[in-house]
Amino acid sequence: MEELKSFYENNQRFADAGLIAISIVILTIWISSQVHDVTSLLSLIALSVALPTLTFDLLLIQNSLFLNKIDTYLDDLNKPDYEPPFNPIKSYKVYVIVNINKVTGMTCAVIGIVTAIWHASWIAGLSFLIIGTISMIIHTKLTPTEKDLVKIAHALGEKKGKDLQEENDELKKKIEEEFEYYD
């Protein structure tokens, strides 16, 4: 189960790290050049927003992986009322903020990269945008979600998979109750 969860988290870490690397390369070019047209300015602004948000997301993922490993080695893990002491996402509101941060960072990075390529050639920028969108859709359809990984672990007979499935079901009920509270 731990390997499956690590696989899921590693996908997000690779995406963040790749976008951070590309953002740094393009940002250094824009900062050192004196080109100030609309596409370069838009790219500069988008990448300036993307870099800190993606870095925060990458650090949060790294911390949660480390702290989850600590939680699994604690003795209280088998108690039914166990609450992990190091859970980095404490509430649904924080969960929403973290996801908004992630989506904002990735969107701004893509906008910055596309506008940087568009600056050189609009045909190349449009091609990059179309092929990138198609590739992202294919990747999204083929990559298993965390729920799929839990089902796989449960099917393999992992007790942790069953426990995690129950935990996900309880979290889903809490989220639905919280939404009903705000309605």
pLDDT of residue 50: 95
pLDDT at 96: 81
pLDDT in the model for residue 63: 74
Measured between alpha carbons, how far is residue 179 from residues 87, 148, 170, 173, 182 in Å? Answer: 22, 24, 14, 10, 5
| pLDDT on residue 7 | 67
**Residue 3 confidence (pLDDT):** 63
pLDDT (0 to 100) of residue 84: 54
Query: How many Å apart are CA 92 and CA 166, to the nearest integer?
Result: 18
- pLDDT at site 112: 94
pLDDT reported for residue 70: 54
Structure tokens at 123: 């045909």
The label of the residue with tokens 């796989």 reads 152
How far CA 123 is from CA of 87, 115, 116, 127, 152, in Å, comes to 46, 11, 12, 6, 43
Given a contact cutoff of 8 angstroms between Cβ atoms, the answer to whether 57 and 98 are in contact is: yes
pTM: 0.68
Residues of the chain with pLDDT under 70: 1-8, 65-91, 150, 153-168, 178-183
The whole-number pLDDT of residue 60 equals 82
